[in-house]
Structure 1
Amino acid sequence: MVEGQSRSAWKAVLGVCVGLLGGPAAAQVPELEGRWSPPLSWPLSAQHIHLLPDGKVMFFEDFAGGGQAPYVWEPATDTFAALPLPPFNVFGAGHSYLSDGRLLLTGGHSEPRVGEARAAIFNPYTGVWEPAPDMNDKRRYPTNTTLPDGDVLVLSGETVGSGVTNALPQRWVDGTQSWRDLSTAGRKLPHSPRMFLAPNGKLFFAGAWRSNLWLDPEGTGTWFGSTRSLHGGRAYGGAVYLDGKVLLVGGGDPPTNTVELIDLNQPSPTWTSQSPMRVARRHHNTTLLPDGTVLVTGGTQSGGFDDRGGAVFHAEIWDPETNTWHSLASGSVYRGYHSTALLLPDGRVLSAGGNGESSAEIFEPPYLFKGPRPAVQEAPDELLPGTVFPVSTPDGSQIKKVTLLALGSSTHAFDQNQRLLTLPYSVTDDGLRVSAPESNVLAPPGPYLLFLVNEAGVPSVAKKVQVGKVPSRFASVIAFSDVWKYDDGNVDRGTSWLASDYDDSAWKSGPGQFGHGDGDEATVLNATTPTQPTVYFRKKITLDKPVLAARLEALFDDGVQVWINGVPVYSKNVGNGLDFGKYASGSTSNEYRRESLSLDSAPFVVGENLVTALVKQVGPRSDDLSFALALQVQFENFQEEHQRAIAFGDRWEYDDSGVDPGPSWMAPAFDSASWKVGVGQFGHGDGDEVTVLASPRPARPSTYFRKKIHLSGPVTSASLELLFEDGVAVFVNGTQVFARNVGRLAHSKYATGSLENARETVELVLQPNPFVKGENTVAVVVKQVGATSPDLSFDLALDVGVQVPAP
């Protein structure tokens, strides 16, 4: 880098307060409204902006025709350093971080409304631009999305004129530094499509169109339908990802103040309306904050493309816990089209750019005025998904939340890299034990900011951490886009087609997805009148080692049944599937299902395996059909190790005070330091207790127990053995896994029935799985049946199957 100039003096505050919307520089009450700095003079308009791994900020604008090269700003010293010119004009590029912290830029500006086919990598550690192979065609305003293995998918981008976009998705394969085409996933998308890696490993297209889509990036790619947002198109609206949910904010023309949320953790997610913003906005920036709230800055409330007359100066903040918006202080400069915003490691937000605006402002959110910050004294430099790591802090008992945020990389009202994850944790003597994200699907590899947030909502200064890459335990053996043999000839094939030696040489073949009537098919099937009830599919795969577990994903419309080596493994909306003439028993619309397969019948073999499927339509007038299937297997590189995690007679913390401990007593972070400690069995009134509990009159309704256990790997099975009377509820990491004779959990409620020293063994259903690798909290409430109950008993044993590497 060439060391550049220090910024010039701050501009004078512009004007006086003219109300909520117009107020350049209104009077500010920081603890309620936050605080804006005066405008800062910058060397150019920050129309693309990136938080680098070292905490500095890189920014650039259109430098065609001899304009200025990118700059780096150092927040600590408020100085600038000029960067070398990139190999082409990267204005209008897509951008996201690679797993090693380098920034991949795709496309850019060749001439007005004409994209650029080149790509480049900026190395923040050396300040050097590194070459990358060209893409298939030009792209201007594409979107980059980092994938779980560190690859990057680039979509859309204008090619040679308004409305002419690059329809071919391409995958940057980081291991080979090359591009791979998703040749079966061509689709025209808007500029800067709002794409997010979802918890199911697919990419979710959230806008700016109203219709949403899923993209499976495996193989040669497959699109399939999703839901529709509640509002119309949201051009230049905000979209952010937090804990598996996507929030859409404003946008459109005329602009809207509507807000909606979709939870991608759900099997069939749909949008739900949220409280609206105080004012409609377009061209605003939407920024995730360390405490899990969402900040909106800038934009215009007027119709048309970029009307300064409708400038919105005040910021707003959304609290997901209360679904409420609060108006904050007003900045001084109109930040509309080509403006950007970025979260800094100290919790402030940088707001910059806009057409012709070479300035920036710093916003300090209200949380920075609510008391001292918690401190991160020490934390690992690298986090591996699925592990537990220590954080040294003197403020452990005061921590309310631990969050992980990917570094921001923002342009055109969308941050293509930022995502927020809330991490489970427990308090230790010297700080916290924090659970890293479960997998790279939740946290793709790359640089992140780790924040601690205290009870007052004040965040620490972030610790920069690197999320490492952990290979998935599951290997893909069939992708949605793979080639199958199929028979859509409307002929009954009986049962012989299920056999491995069946002659399917006359069958057709093609890639998934298959179907007709929806427009998203890679292979269009025969559409008969009346509609044929059944279409057949066959595919052979070779496995070189035994299979421990499997996951199947099916996309279908309307019914489907799947066999592996002749063993039925999945069926939906199909009665007697082999009855060719029977239609589906229910109707779906491109339904997507993901299932873990039961392997009790051991359908897989080492060597060649046959996967067969049939798809049924719902009736003779059905106008569409869909089918695609993906299969992932876990080979026996891992084995299940059975462990007795808790034994009868073990030590527990307990509270028999009769005082309500509050609603979070079962949570891992609950402070139980004042509780008593004893060993099982616990109770009173029977004479067989090791730890005798208090026995007041009237009998207390609830007695509480907590225990920390450490598990060496992911839990694949679990069973409880319980001794109790009269009612009991068991929680693992705050999730209830079993209850008997417990109606309401309220502290003052007695058990709903009476049991005398009952013993019960229960196999736990681990969907979702409440256990994590590392530290786990088991919490139990035991309830007596009434005020005159004379006795109480409790003890517990827990057996788990833990997945460990095979020797």
Structure 2
Amino acid sequence: MVSVLTMVIGLLAAPAAAVTLDPNGSWEELGDWPLIAIHAALTSEGDVITYGTRGAFASQSGSFIYDVWDPASGDVEGGHDTLQNETPTDIFCNLQLNDPSSGNLVMFGGDVFLDGQAQNYGNADIVEFDATTRALSSLPGMTLPRWYGSGVTLPDGRIYIQGGLNGEAFPEVWDPINGAQALDMDTTELYWYYPRLFVVPDGRIFGFDTNGRMFTVSQDLTTLTQHGKFASSGVVGDGSSAVQYAPGKILQFGGRSNHTYYIDANGPEPVVTRGPNMSARRSWVDAVLLPDGRVLAIGGSGVKNELDGTKKSAEIWDPATGEWTEYSMGAVARLYHSTALLLPDASVLVAGGGAPGPLVNANAEIYKPGYMVTAGGVEAPRPEYSLDDTEYDVGDTITISSGDAAQVASVRLVKNGAVTHSFNPEQRLIDLPFTAAIGELQATIPLSSSVVTPGSYLLFLIDGAGVPSEAKIINVAPSETTGPVDPPPPDPPGPIDPPEPPPVQRECALRREQGGVTLTWNAAAGTNVRKNGSWAGKFPELSWFDPTGVAADFYVVIANTADGKISTDCIDDGAPVDPPVPPPPPPPPPLDGECFVTPVGGGNSLVFTDPENNDDNWNIRRNDSWLTKVFNNNSYVDIEGQAGDSYEVRYWIPGAGRQDVPCVPEGGPVDPPPEPPPPPPPPPPEPAACRVTTTAEGIELEWDAVPGENRYSVRRNGKWVTTVQDALTWMDPAGSAADSYEVRATVAGVRTELDCA
């Protein structure tokens, strides 16, 4: 959305230096990545966190490691900090969003990892990633477990959460003070798989599930209203993508067809119109909102998660023309579990794919759109700027110092993204009205927190040639001020949807009888039955007697159609209802496990047991910090354990949750005390240190070896600079005496940090 003031200032701006851009853009060389990037998010610190597999192989799990990458490192293989997940939570296929109040990334739900493998059902955990320290920690959990859940940041800074397997019944809202709270709205009729959610300018949430059912949630979070279904041609589905390219305007594409739809959610009823076709079908496509307002489609194939009709090209939709255009191709196909994320330099990180799938894409590449590359193949000259402040409220004016102020045609905010499974709910682009003076711009943030939802944003200046600056990250605080600022732009050109045929009448009757419940339905209604939100079975004979059914149960039948899964509620036919069956007595509390710790010659020995034999996946903690995981074994020897160390064993019992078992001493030392008493121990070795020397060639670092490690990560002023292998020195020709340095080494999951002085 471009305001009149922005257009006038753009016309008065001095023309940018003549430059011919290459519309194809360019791709950087494919490089290794520490894991398959199933999840990717840009943090408030400008780093990229990825996770989803145990390492660089096709084994799904977010229970073990995650990676933090610094885009300023210059390539996809450098700048990595791969860390241990020290929480008990498997964060695989969860929801991740940046919390605007803290700047940290908060993760909701995920899988359950038991018996050495993923269980493929939801957990109710909440995990926080500290954007500054890069550590994960557990927070109080949600009301419902959720696997493949979705969410969006609200105008007041809270996070709305909906869907996910095992979380179909109702949504929740979370904030760091009150935690997660259940909302009194029924979402059982909406499909649970990553529902598409957007905050629109009047403060409501507009959304649709992957079967195309549209709905809105009132601004006060009390009312959910359904608005019918769209896309009978099958454009929706879990392999499709959607992006809010302008306030209240959504572009939906990919999945089971090559169709495109425009959705205008600014009125009381959403308006859906047909857009242009893409070049081909793209199942498991990713959408990236670019700073020039166009939308990049990347990845996908003609057959879901198969190498049939793969699309490696960058395909871009232009809102000015309403057309798709194909550009240059990347190195590998990106299918299920792939990700694409806008970076602060306006390039796009393209990563992941696999676990499962025909490729194991523990790799990544960078796509530079045509606005970054000249026809001669070099990087285009870009506007530059600086800021005195990075914290703002809606309605504030941003003072931007820039020697290129006279050449700036637009000032835009693009929200930091968080993407997984072909959907990035936080993407939004805001045009800022601005005035220009010599060496300075004054840009104003719209006075609406439903247009500029709180959180971290990339601030881009774009010159008259369409070339964006590198962005700096600013943070916009929560506010109660909502509502549209300017009227939304008109829909781009494109064909109008043909009229929909009349809906098929779908019916399901429910009769409560002595000793159970009988369901009957017509052929159009379906054959799959869900009871109280969980799958109950498949019954092709169009009826089913449930001997365990009681008055409080509710049922839905589901039909598999060309448009996806269609749900029909089963309506009580009014027959007398059985008297309520008393609930079963609560299960007895889980038996506490036992853990005994015994000092041995060379550490501490732990022996532990779960009396119900429900778990062979143990998390060992020493002195209140995570130490290791043990699988299919009821003992562990901590060779680094000391006298006085405290231990705790954590495990899960299905239906009872996490069990925390403290380890207590058993017996005394295994080895009898020697005679005579041993001599006093030698003094402890000097701790490893790092020394800095200023030379004519630069700054020279020299450090002591960390036992068991020959690979060291060097950081300058808190940012990764290089990795040194098989050496204990490094010369930094770009360093100065004012710089601070740190050397890191990780042995057996324990990181050593050496401050250089």
Q: TM-score, normalised by structure 2?
A: 0.55
CA offsets 1:550-573 (integer angstroms, 9 cap, x no match): xxxxxxxxxxxxxxxxxxxxxxxx
Q: Are residue 324 (structure 1) and residue 315 (structure 2) matched?
A: no
Partner of 1:238: 241
> What is the CA–CA distance in structure 2 between the aligned matches of 1:81 and 1:182, rounded to whole Å?
42
Deviations 1:26-75 (A, max 9, x none): xxx98121111221111110000111122211100134679740011122
Counterpart Cα distance in 2 of 1:137 and 1:233: 30
Where 2:406 maps in the other structure, the secondary structure is: helix
CA contact (8 A) 1:378 1:393 kept: no
Q: Which amino acid in structure 1 is aligned with residue 72 of structure 2?
A: A
Contact 1:211–1:229, Cα closer than 8 Å, also in 2 = no
Query: Where in structure 2 are the equivalents of 1:720-799 lying within 5 Å?
Result: none
Residue identity in the other structure for 1:116:
N
Contact persistence 2:43–2:98 (CA under 8 A): no
The aligned counterpart of 2:338 is: 339
Look up the SS of the partner of 1:295 in the other structure.
Answer: strand
Match of 2:612 in 1: none
Q: Corresponding residue for 1:373?
A: 382
After superposition, the C-alpha distances for 1:128-155 in whole angstroms (9 at most, x for unaligned) are 2232222222211000111011111111
User: Among 448, 462, 485, which residue is 1:453 paired with?
Assistant: 462
- Alignment-derived partner of residue 636 in structure 1: none
Greater mean deviation of Cα atoms: 214-223 or 285-294: 214-223
Contact 2:198–2:244 (CA<8 Å) still a contact in 1? yes
The corresponding residue for 1:194 is 196
Q: Do the aligned partners of residues 141 and 184 (structure 1) sit closer, same or farther apart at CA in structure 2, a change above 3 Å counting?
A: closer
Asked if structure 1 preserves the Cα contact closer than 8 Å seen for 2:314 and 2:329, the reply is yes
Q: Which runs of 5+ in 1 are unaligned?
A: 1-28, 160-164, 475-516, 520-807
Contact 1:243/1:422 (8 A) holds in 2: no
CA distance in 1: counterparts of 2:395 and 2:148, whole angstroms: 35
The verdict on how the C-alpha distance between 1:309 and 1:398 changes in structure 2, with shifts beyond 3 A counting, is: same
Match of 1:358 in 2: 362
Post-superposition shift, 1:125? 1.2
Mapping of residues 95-174 of structure 1, within 5 Å: 95-99=96-100, 100-110=102-112, 111-159=118-166, 166-174=168-176
1:358 maps to a residue whose letter is A
Aligned length, in residue pairs: 440
1:405 maps to amino acid: V
Shift of 1:98: 0.8
- 1:95 is displaced (CA, Å) by 1.3
Q: Is the 8 Å Cα contact of residues 43 and 49 (structure 2) preserved in structure 1?
A: yes
Distance 1:389 1:226, change over 3 A: farther
Q: Secondary structure at the match of 1:120?
A: strand
Partners of 1:212 and 1:225 within 8 A in 2 = yes
The residue correspondences of 1:541-560 to structure 2 (distance < 5 A) are none
The SS at the match of 1:415 is coil
Change over 3 Å in CA distance of 1:97–1:226 after alignment to 2 = farther
1:362–1:440 CA distance, 2 compared to 1 (3 A):
same
Counterparts of 2:266 and 2:405 in 1: how far apart (Å)?
A: 29
CA distance in 1, matches of 2:451, 2:431: 11
Q: 1:249, CA displacement in angstroms? A: 3.9
In structure 2, what is the Cα distance between the partners aligned to 1:415 and 1:40?
A: 24
Q: What are the superposed Cα offsets for residues 340-399 of structure 1, whole Å, 9 maximum, x if unpaired?
A: 010000011000000021000110111001431111222531221123222222222222
CA distance in 2, matches of 1:326, 1:65: 37
Q: Which residue of 1 aligns with 2:571?
A: none
* Shift, 1:109, TM fit: 0.9
User: Mapping of 1:450-529 within 5 angstroms?
Assistant: 450-472=459-481
Partner of 2:631: none
Aligned-partner Cα distance in 1 for 2:120–2:236: 21
For residue 24 of structure 2, what is the aligned residue in structure 1? 33
Which runs of structure 2 are paired with 1:2-17 in the superposition (5 Å)? Answer: none
SS in structure 1 opposite 2:403? coil
- The one-letter code matched in structure 2 to 1:218 is D
Give yes or no for contact 1:150–1:445 (8 Å, CA) kept in 2. Answer: yes
Q: For 2:53 and 2:172, how far apart are their aligned partners in 1?
A: 25
After TM superposition, the runs of 4+ consecutive aligned structure 1 residues lying more than 6 A away are: 64-67
Equivalences for residues 658-697 of structure 1 within 5 A: none
Instruction: Quote how far apart the aligned CAs of 1:184 are.
Output: 5.1
Q: How far, CA to CA, are the matches of 1:435 and 1:206 in structure 2?
A: 32
Identity of aligned residues (%): 32
* Superposed displacement of residue 104, structure 1: 1.3
Partner of 1:312: 311
What does residue 388 of structure 1 align with? 397
Looking at structure 2, the residues matched to 297 and 205 of structure 1 have their Cα atoms a distance apart, in angstroms, of: 23
What letter matches 1:401 in structure 2? S
8 Å CA contact retained: 1:239, 1:246 = no
1:432 equivalenced with 2:432 (yes/no): no
How much has 1:401 moved relative to structure 2? Answer: 1.8
Is the contact between residue 451 and residue 482 of structure 2 (CA under 8 Å) also seen in structure 1?
Answer: no
In the alignment, is the contact (CA less than 8 A) between 2:342 and 2:417 conserved in 1? yes
Match of 2:261 in 1: 260
SS in 2 for 1:397: helix
TM-score (norm 1): 0.52
Higher RCO, Cα 8 Å, sep 6+: 2
Distance between the aligned counterparts of 1:62 and 1:217, measured in 2? 37
Q: Which residue of 1 is the match for residue 414 of structure 2?
A: 405
What does residue 208 of structure 1 align with?
A: 210
SS in 2 for 1:452: strand
Q: Secondary structure at the residue paired with 1:76?
A: helix
CA distance in 2 between partners of 1:384 and 1:87 (Å): 37
Deviates more, 1:212-221 or 1:313-322: 212-221
**By how many angstroms is 1:227 displaced?**
6.3
1:491 maps to what in 2?
Answer: none
- Which amino acid counterpart does residue 395 of structure 2 have in structure 1? G
Aligned CA distance change for structure 1 residues 98 and 445 (closer, same or farther; 3 Å): same
Alignment of 1:271-310 (within 5 A): 271-302=272-303, 305-310=304-309
Distance 1:135 1:359, change over 3 A: same
Q: 1:213 Cα shift?
A: 1.0
RMSD over aligned Cα, in angstroms? 2.5
Shift in Å, 1:168: 1.1
Three-state SS of the structure 2 residue aligned to 1:167 is: coil
Unpaired segments of 5 or more residues in structure 2? 1-19, 55-59, 113-117, 355-359, 375-379, 484-504, 508-757
C-alpha offsets along residues 112-132 of structure 1, whole Å, 9 cap, x if unaligned?
Answer: 431111111111112222322
Q: Aligned partner of 1:392: which letter? A: S
Tell me which residue corresponds to 2:66.
Answer: 70
